[in-house]
Amino acid sequence: MDSRIRTHADILVDHCTDLDPSDDVLIRAPPVAEDLAVAVAERVGEVGANPSVSLQSERATRAYLQASDAEDFETPEHLLAMMESADAFILVTGDLNTAELSDVPTEKLAAFRRARRPIQEARMGKRWVGTQFPASGSAQKAEMSTEEYEEFVYEAVNKDWEAQRDHQQQMVEILDPAEEVRIVSGDTTDIRMSVAGMKTVNDDGRKNLPGGEVFTAPVPDSVAGEVLFDKPLLRHGREIQDAYLRFEDGEVVEHDALKNADLLASILDTDEGARRLGELGIGMNRDIDRFTYNMLFDEKMGDTVHMAVGKAIEETVPEGQPLNESAVHTDMIVDMSENSFIEVDGDVVQRNGTFRFEDGFEE
Amino acid sequence: MDSRIRTHADILVDHCTDLDPSDDVLIRAPPVAEDLAVAVAERVGEVGANPSVSLQSERATRAYLQASDAEDFETPEHLLAMMESADAFILVTGDLNTAELSDVPTEKLAAFRRARRPIQEARMGKRWVGTQFPASGSAQKAEMSTEEYEEFVYEAVNKDWEAQRDHQQQMVEILDPAEEVRIVSGDTTDIRMSVAGMKTVNDDGRKNLPGGEVFTAPVPDSVAGEVLFDKPLLRHGREIQDAYLRFEDGEVVEHDALKNADLLASILDTDEGARRLGELGIGMNRDIDRFTYNMLFDEKMGDTVHMAVGKAIEETVPEGQPLNESAVHTDMIVDMSENSFIEVDGDVVQRNGTFRFEDGFEE
């Protein structure tokens, strides 16, 4: 087996979920990622925890969905019972065909996901991690050969996460006590928001592997200005290009896109919270040096910031602060590598992708 | 997809587990049987039940077992919770490599299975079925090409099970009220046992697919005589040939085998119940016309009887009758096609494989 797969597995078991012998752990992966499931199972055995390894067939999910009536979906109690009883959860994604669910009607998929939401919620209370296996379909979506994509994934994933955490902590210490953040890029993006009272999280690759961002929640009503998300966003297999949002008093008052503007509109129309920001994140994983149409990687890319419309991430919103609620959480990305800066409480803290705590920073 | 796979799936959902829309069903299959999992998921969707489809990696199981200490095995509570909460269970077997667990020490495998026994026991209270997918490794073990093995499996599985039940019911009606059964084959097998008060079950392909036998429990102390099991038995990847047992007062008092006699001895030494018979079965699935080293098929072969040392099957032992208990249940097969007969209460009911309710029967 590729030794990089074993390294990946060790990080999942030791760093991300920190398993101990008393843990019941659920491992889910697509069949194409069986090698990673094998390596994880081996490490789980060494640790002495109790695994359930389940390879998930998206073809079976599609067949079930196509044959079902959307009104029939119920929460499967046996899956819920398993998740509630588990201590930890390792979820591997990776596709032979990223379009496997493309012919399932969107409304049916949404109804299915609603029925399974209690299982997602049960998961949130556990130690869990989501990660990626470099399958050929995922490589295709990233417009890379499978071999090159493997190299890309393992560079991003198999890192010294303590060193990465220390590096990111410098940005956490700037953002966590801050009042106001301003993001400027070219003449298309100039947006301000308050982060006062919110908590900045250091994503050192525990819940997401790769990690590599710091993120917080804007005060929902405080967001003002305009932003052009110049990195594309893939949604239900369709690409939204150059999404543009203008905010007043925290709410989207104008929106457009170069391609699939209707899809962007439908996201914003989901509910009231979908027209407000729930997250501001700053990508800091420099081993992610290209866009691969996979948000797990894209949002951590060096020299980018991302904002999500919709639900805020609970750990960024302390008790008593306003938490933006929504059924959606849609991340969108701004390239900050050129002609761009991040300002925190009036001071420039990043210019053209270089942080003020790094060599080469220009005030 | 091969239309025989869809037929197989429909039988599993409609005949074997009889799913309805309120059912939470667990479907487990090896990755090589993904097509069957897809077809089952589709039929489950049509019925409106709630599936969990889980492809099981034996490579991952081996890696976990090899890395673990045998003392570490605990019952995974999350798997137990899932099984307890499920209404029905469809288990598909089939291997790319039937020797995948061959290098795991036997004691470790036994300790692992002991830890998982509560999950097996929870399963017994559900509607469940075990079936087979014609994978290449299973074909290899059967000494058949994959294509020929596919034909063999689907002939045995995709049957008119109502007609098969009616055919078998004729034998149930002979055996169920009977007092004594005698099995004679050549000059090597002549064994008598009481089945008085026991229940004969008509296996019409519900819990096992293929089904195709009628079976009951001998009164444990009543078994007397000798039997040569002239069909081979595969156990932990080793073949026991020509197992010979001699019974007195229900207990094995002499045993031998042409090959791997030590393995036979270790089975009989498991516990006290392992030296007594727990089952007498009569194979009646004539589409199973050859031996494939797979007990799911072999024990239903036409023109055979099988006897199991060890645990009796509970549904064959009415309340108040003696139930043989053991940690093992090992089926062994006698060829009845030539120079053989079955006698029930003094009457010959089968000679050289032909039942007395069939054309060509010779008194």
Q: What is the pLDDT of residues B311-350, one digit of tens each?
A: 999 999 999 999 999 989 999 999 999 999 999 999 999 9
In a shared domain, residues B103 and B67: yes
Q: Is residue B362 part of a domain?
A: no
In a shared domain, residues B45 and B82: yes
User: Percent of chain A, pLDDT > 70?
Assistant: 99
Q: What is the pLDDT of residues B183-211, one digit of tens each?
A: 999 999 999 999 999 999 999 999 999 99
Of A116, A133, A158, the last residue of a domain is A158
Q: Does A21 touch chain B (CB under 8 A)?
A: yes
Q: What is the pLDDT of residues A118-154, one digit of tens each?
A: 999 999 889 999 999 999 999 999 999 999 999 999 9
How far apart, in whole angstroms, are the C-alpha atoms of residue B288 and residue B225? 29
Contact A38 B69 (CB under 8 A): no
In a shared domain, residues B113 and B202: no
Instruction: Determine the pLDDT at residue B247.
Output: 98
Q: Is residue B328 part of a domain?
A: yes
- Is the predicted pLDDT of residue B141 greater than 90, yes or no? yes
For range A73-82, the mean pLDDT: 95
In a shared domain, residues B218 and B152: no
Q: Is residue B363 part of a domain?
A: no
To the nearest 10°, report the CA torsion of A135, A136, A138, A140: 170
Contact criterion met (CB below 8 Å) for B283 and B305: yes
Taking only residues 329 to 358 of chain B, the set having a beta carbon closer than 8 angstroms to any beta carbon of chain A reads: none
pTM, 2 dp:
0.91
HSE toward the beta carbon, residue A121, CA cutoff 13 A:
8
Instruction: Determine the pLDDT at residue B219.
Output: 97
In a shared domain, residues B28 and B116: yes
The answer to whether ipTM exceeds 0.85 is yes
For range A67-72, the mean pLDDT: 88
Measure A30 CA to nearest chain B CA, in Å: 9
Contact criterion met (CB below 8 Å) for A281 and A299: yes
| pLDDT level of residue A208 (50, 70, 90 thresholds) | very high
Q: What is the pLDDT of residues A328-339, one digit of tens each?
A: 999 999 999 999
In a shared domain, residues A273 and A298: yes
| pLDDT level of residue B139 (50, 70, 90 thresholds) | very high
Q: Is residue A124 part of a domain?
A: yes
Q: What is the pLDDT of residues B91-116, one digit of tens each?
A: 999 999 999 998 999 889 889 988 99
Of A158, A190, A212, the last residue of a domain is A158
Contact criterion met (CB below 8 Å) for A25 and A86: yes
- Is the predicted pLDDT of residue B241 greater than 80, yes or no? yes
How far apart, in whole angstroms, are the C-alpha atoms of residue A73 and residue A77? 12
* Chain B residues with CB-CB distance to A85 below 8 A: 77-78, 80-82
Prior bond of B232 cis (ω within 30°): no
Q: Is residue B206 part of a domain?
A: yes
Taking only residues 43 to 82 of chain A, the set having a beta carbon closer than 8 angstroms to any beta carbon of chain B reads: 43-46, 48, 50-57, 59-61, 63-69, 72-82
- Is the predicted pLDDT of residue A237 greater than 80, yes or no? no
Q: Is residue A19 part of a domain?
A: yes
Instruction: Determine the pLDDT at residue B107.
Output: 87
Of A51, A57, A60, the CB nearest to B64: A51
How far apart, in whole angstroms, are the C-alpha atoms of residue A280 and residue B234? 62
Q: Is residue A362 part of a domain?
A: no
Taking only residues 77 to 96 of chain A, the set having a beta carbon closer than 8 angstroms to any beta carbon of chain B reads: 77-87
Instruction: Determine the pLDDT at residue B362.
Output: 84
The boundaries of the domain holding residue A218 are 162-355
- Is the predicted pLDDT of residue B52 greater than 80, yes or no? yes
* Chain A residues with CB-CB distance to B45 below 8 A: 63-68
Q: Residue B113's domain is classified under what CATH number?
A: 3.40.1830.10
In a shared domain, residues B106 and B166: no
In a shared domain, residues A131 and A254: no
For range B202-230, the mean pLDDT: 97
Chain B residue with CA closest to A80: the answer is: B82
Q: Is residue B127 part of a domain?
A: yes
Of B125, B158, B191, the last residue of a domain is B158
In a shared domain, residues B303 and B319: yes
In a shared domain, residues A139 and A254: no
Contact A37 B46 (CB under 8 A): no
| pLDDT level of residue B161 (50, 70, 90 thresholds) | very high
In a shared domain, residues A302 and A316: yes
Instruction: Determine the pLDDT at residue A72.
Output: 81
The number of domains in chain A is 2
In a shared domain, residues B232 and B126: no
Instruction: Determine the pLDDT at residue A233.
Output: 87
Interchain CB contacts (distance < 8 Å): A and B:
157
